[in-house]
């Protein structure tokens, strides 16, 4: 028996959006393969793509990611603001029970979960205004550099819609198809999103408790180490420059760095780290990324992103401690 997408074409007409993807041969091949492998109705899948619209703005956006044009100083201006810290403290106060429950279960501190949600969506206030169907269709069929990846995500999205019983044409997200408070792409949503409040629905679009549990689960599943350090700032001006920013993954031992002239490091000699040089407000900053720093880069493959999360989390932790001490 065929399994149909939940509440789809009966409410919409192709003319409503002026879509043209359903007429393209590569889309028809995609639909045919998906219908055969996942027990969808082929005609109904085609009706979905009749609603999909090409968006040039999405192509423009993905062609200039922030990592290519911003340095650490600019990241600080964007993500380490009083407004973002205040919003994070309010979020932590409003969702204290869920954050504490997530820490107990997954080992991830409340300030780290909150900082990720704060960097991603300003605590749920900016989750993206593109229809996910449009974003993933545009990138799957009109962005050759990563078409294979986005076709896979488009498949995952269609499966997700069926599993979570959502209206496919209503869901919005980023230009890359990331969704909800934690900005999960469809494959991550299916793999790591959790029903953290036990209501039977994994909803990271509208349910902060599910979003909190899902972010913590994601980090835990990628190797987060409970109660361990994240990164450490060091004085390293005299070290060879080629050791910095060589890898996101910890690949240098403290013993090796000491042999090169790094001293007074409160870490075990066999601990592996990733040396970083960032251009900050006052010039070069030198940091050692540990395993938990690397885990944050599994959420977004950028050391600038991970450092923004870390430093925002430190501001949030200090802010919460200040409230407690009053």
Is residue 107 left, alpha or beta, with left meaning phi > 0 and alpha meaning psi from -120 to 50?
A: left
Q: Tell me: the pLDDT tens digits for 223-269?
A: 999 999 999 999 988 899 999 999 999 999 999 999 999 988 899 99
Helix (H, G, I), strand (E, B) or coil at 83: helix
Confidence of residue 316 (pLDDT cuts 50, 70, 90): very high
Look at the block and give the residue holding tokens 């004085």. 235
Q: Tell me: the pLDDT tens digits for 198-224?
A: 999 999 999 999 999 999 999 999 999
Q: What was the pLDDT predicted at 325?
A: 53
Q: What was the pLDDT predicted at 65?
A: 62
120 is annotated as an active-site residue: yes
**10 Å Cβ neighbour count for 104?**
9
Over residues 81-98, mean pLDDT = 98
Cα separation of 197 and 173, whole Å? 23
User: Mean pLDDT over all residues of the chain?
Assistant: 91
Alpha-carbon separation of residue 302 from 68, 158, 263, 315 (angstroms): 10, 28, 27, 20
Q: Tell me: the pLDDT tens digits for 122-159?
A: 999 999 999 999 999 999 999 999 999 999 999 999 99
**Residues 26, 120, 163, 285: which is the catalytic one?**
120
Look at the block and give the residue holding tokens 């932590």. 92
Through-space distance between the first and last CA atoms of the chain, rounded to whole angstroms: 63
Q: What was the pLDDT predicted at 264?
A: 81
Q: What was the pLDDT predicted at 70?
A: 83
Evaluate if residue 3 carries a pLDDT over 60: no
Confidence of residue 66 (pLDDT cuts 50, 70, 90): low
Q: What was the pLDDT predicted at 310?
A: 98
């Amino acid at each position: 028996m065929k399994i149909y997408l939940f509440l789809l074409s009966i409410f919409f007409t192709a003319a409503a959006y002026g879509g043209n993807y359903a007429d393209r041969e590569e889309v028809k091949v995609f639909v045919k393969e998906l219908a055969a492998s996942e027990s969808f109705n082929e005609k109904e899948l085609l009706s979905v793509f009749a609603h999909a619209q090409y968006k040039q703005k999405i192509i423009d956006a993905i062609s200039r990611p922030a990592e290519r044009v911003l340095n650490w100083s600019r990241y600080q201006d964007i993500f380490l603001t009083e407004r973002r810290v205040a919003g994070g403290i309010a979020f932590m106060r409003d969702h204290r029970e869920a954050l504490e429950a997530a820490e107990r279960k997954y080992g991830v501190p409340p300030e780290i979960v909150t900082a990720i949600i704060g960097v991603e969506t300003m605590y749920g206030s900016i989750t993206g205004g593109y229809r996910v169907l449009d974003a993933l269709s545009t990138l799957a069929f009109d962005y050759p550099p990563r078409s294979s990846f986005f076709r896979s995500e488009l498949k995952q999205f269609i499966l997700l819609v069926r599993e979570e019983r959502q209206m496919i044409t209503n869901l919005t997200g980023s230009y890359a198809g990331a969704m909800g408070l934690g900005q999960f792409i469809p494959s991550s949503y299916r793999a790591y999103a959790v029903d953290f409040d036990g209501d039977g629905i994994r909803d990271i679009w509208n349910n902060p408790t599910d979003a909190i549990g899902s972010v913590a689960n994601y980090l835990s599943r990628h190797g987060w180490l409970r109660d361990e350090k994240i990164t450490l700032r060091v004085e390293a001006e005299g070290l060879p420059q080629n050791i910095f920013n060589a890898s996101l993954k910890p690949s240098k031992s403290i013993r090796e760095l000491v042999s090169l002239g790094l001293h007074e490091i409160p870490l075990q000699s066999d601990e592996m780290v990733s040396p970083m040089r960032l251009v900050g407000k006052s010039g070069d900053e030198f940091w050692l990324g540990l395993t938990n720093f690397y885990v944050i880069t599994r959420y977004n493959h950028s050391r600038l992103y991970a450092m923004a999360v870390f430093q925002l989390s430190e501001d949030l932790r200090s802010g919460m401690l200040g409230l407690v001490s009053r």
